[in-house]
Structure 1
Amino acid sequence: MLISTDNSGLLHGANAINGGELVAFPTDTYFALGADGFNSKAVESVFVTKGRNPGTPVPLLVSDSNMATSLVRDFPAPLKQLADHFWPGALTVVLPANDRVPDVVTARTGTVGVRVPDNDVARKLIELSGVPITGTSCNLTGRDPIKEAVVVDQVFGDQVPVVLDGACGDSTAASTVISFEDKRVVVLREGAISAESLRNIVGDIVVS
């Protein structure tokens, strides 16, 4: 069901997230398929709805760096510096997850990828929900990601009971993914933010 992105619509979406339902919402890139990141059953339903095999990590979208910090055991200073510079934005930071993050999110890797999206609707939904929300793309596995709410509604129908009818950002580039290994920042995937841009902030960068 298409829902407006006014305050009542966003509150409807947040209540759905808190109730264990799926919510499709716009981000700075494409529509994301959102579930409560603390609710294992809700996250499992993300895999079922996408037709994706479980056992792969799911990124979490957060409203700010404080929420990100609440999910992890450690936030190394160089990664925190980069997050503070590029968030909200297309930077996913992989950090050691604490016990609050369920195994279905981490795929038993012990780590979780977190990001603050550069989209007002997405951040407001997270704030109202009070929980991190899964940020995997809202598409059937193997199909192109989606930028229009009406297309999401056509593809998924009742499987996704709430589709927030807002606009995605113009970017089509994936987020850049970084971690911290052997006391160095490692670029796991170079995307919208270049390794050179990261290097300008913290210096020593390794591109894997």
Structure 2
Amino acid sequence: MSTSADISHAAQLLRDGGLVAIPTETVYGLAAHALDPLAVARVFAAKGRPNFDPLIVHVPEREALADLVSEFPATAVKLAEQFWPGPLTMVLPKRDIVPDIVTAGLSSVAIRIPDHPVAQALLKEAGIPLAAPSANPFGRLSPTTAAHVREQLGDAVDFILDGGPCRVGVESTVVQITGDQVQLLRPGGVTLEELEAVVGSVVIPSANAHPSSAAQPSPGTLPQHYAPGTPLILATGDDQAPASGKRTGLLCLTAPSNTIAYVVVEELSNTGNLTEAAANFFAALRRLDAAGLDVIIAQPFRDTGLGRALNDRLTRAATK
């Protein structure tokens, strides 16, 4: 686990244009000085990330927003009061100080306040906003431990802060705020039901609203994302039987009564708890990916609460 000296070292690296992997409550992020275009360019290079996919900017408190966003409407205030610090990202009109490389050239910026003691301590000590996508090669499984970052990015990162396993386990929910309207761009750690309890109706765009070659309004919206190297099939109906002669693994909320045909079974929660399942999700997929399988079969989740975010990740991870 990282010490206060580690945090001080990481803060200096970031001020100097370095890359630091940081723990958050969602997944580990690859952080750089958000207002330094050269530092941010290193993030894109390290991940192999296309420049039309914007980054999320992390700040320690709401007072830090004044320099970054030009509007913070009443709806955003309501959401901030309820969910910040926490796994909610808001897309808001940006100020000119935010470099275009951070926002994919868009006039908006994605902002959140993380709810993790190490991330909070780092942001306060560094004194700068941090642009931080997930600390993994673009399109691959998100890291939920420091070891995952080490395995995937290695020497591409100047320093890794270890804050233990991520508590939430899936990325933040992303919403775009336009006046009183709230549009859900990416499901995540804050559920649709929780959002609606605060702001009422939430707009959900159609699946093809944002062409994959155009600047994306939010990270995590491309059709292929969050994927293991092993082919993944999303089971539908009775299509859950292992293919004959293939080494098959199963990802499921709760294990079925007969699992003998599977080489590996990853049960995310033996009580069917979606919060527990989300916390275990990426680590379980990573173990399946490392098991020498020919194919992974994933059972979909009930499409409510955190199940909506988990289904989104599975749909994007599935072999196209």
Could you tell me how far 1:66 is from its partner in structure 2?
1.2
Are the counterparts in 2 of residues 60 and 113 from structure 1 also a CA contact under 8 Å? yes
Please tell me whether the aligned partners of residues 95 and 179 of structure 1 are also in contact (alpha carbons under 8 angstroms).
yes
1:14 paired to 2:11: yes
| 1:86 paired to 2:83 | yes
Alpha-carbon displacement from aligned partner over 1:78-99 (angstroms, at most 9, x marks no partner): 1121012101111100000101
TM-score by length of 1: 0.92
- Distance (Å, rounded) in 2 between the aligned partners of 1:108 and 1:130: 25
Could you say if the C-alpha distance between residues 56 and 142 of structure 1 is closer, same or farther in structure 2, counting changes exceeding 3 Å? Answer: closer
SS of residue in 2 equivalent to 1:35: strand
Distance 1:37 1:105 in 2: 7
5+ unaligned residues in a row in structure 1: which ranges?
none
Cα distance between partner residues in 1 of 2:113 and 2:55: 15
Residues 65 and 84 in structure 1, CA contact (< 8 A), matched pair in contact too: no
Q: 1:84-139 CA deviation, whole Å, 9 max, x = no partner?
A: 21011111000001011001001111111001111110111111111111120000
* Pairing 1:64–2:65 present: no
Q: Is the 8 A contact 1:5 1:166 kept in 2?
A: yes
Alignment size in residue pairs:
205
Residue of structure 1 aligned with 2:204, choices 199, 202, 207: 207
Instruction: Go from structure 1 to structure 2 and tell me whether the alpha carbon gap of 1:156 and 1:71 turns closer, same or farther (over 3 Å shift).
Output: same
Tell me which of 26, 30, 33 is aligned to 1:33. 30
The equivalent of 1:160 in structure 2 is: 157
Higher relative contact order (CA 8 A, sep 6+): 1
Distance in 2 between the 1:64 and 1:20 partners? 22
Segment drifting more, 176-185 vs 103-112? 176-185
Matched residue, 1:46 = 43
State the distance in 2 between where 1:93 and 1:190 align.
12
Report the CA distance between 1:170 and its aligned residue.
2.4
Q: Deviations over 1:168-196 (max 9, x none)?
A: 32222321111223632222222222222
- The residue that corresponds to 2:173 in the other structure is 176
Change (3 A) 1:185 1:160: same
1:147 maps onto 2:144 in alignment:
yes
Moved over 4 A (4+): none
How far did residue 30 of structure 1 move?
Answer: 1.5
Deviation at 1:68, TM superposition (A): 2.3
Q: Distance in 1 between matches of 2:80 and 2:110?
A: 12
C-alpha root-mean-square deviation of aligned residues, in Å?
1.5
Shift of 1:62: 0.9
Deviations 1:57-84 (A, max 9, x none): 1111110111123210001111121012
Which one-letter code corresponds to 2:41 in the other structure? E
Superposed CA offset, 1:113-167 (max 9, x none) = 0011111101111111111111200001122111222332243233211111221
Residues 1:124 and 2:130 are matched in the alignment = no
Q: How far apart in 1 are the matches of 2:176 and 2:157?
A: 32
Moved more, 83-92 or 142-151: 142-151
Q: Output the TM-score relative to the length of structure 2.
A: 0.61
In 1, distance between residues paired with 2:189 and 2:169?
8
Task: State which structure, 1 or 2, has the greater radius of gyration over its C-alpha atoms.
Answer: 2
Gap runs ≥5 in structure 2: 206-320
Matches within 5 A, 1:98-137: 98-137=95-134
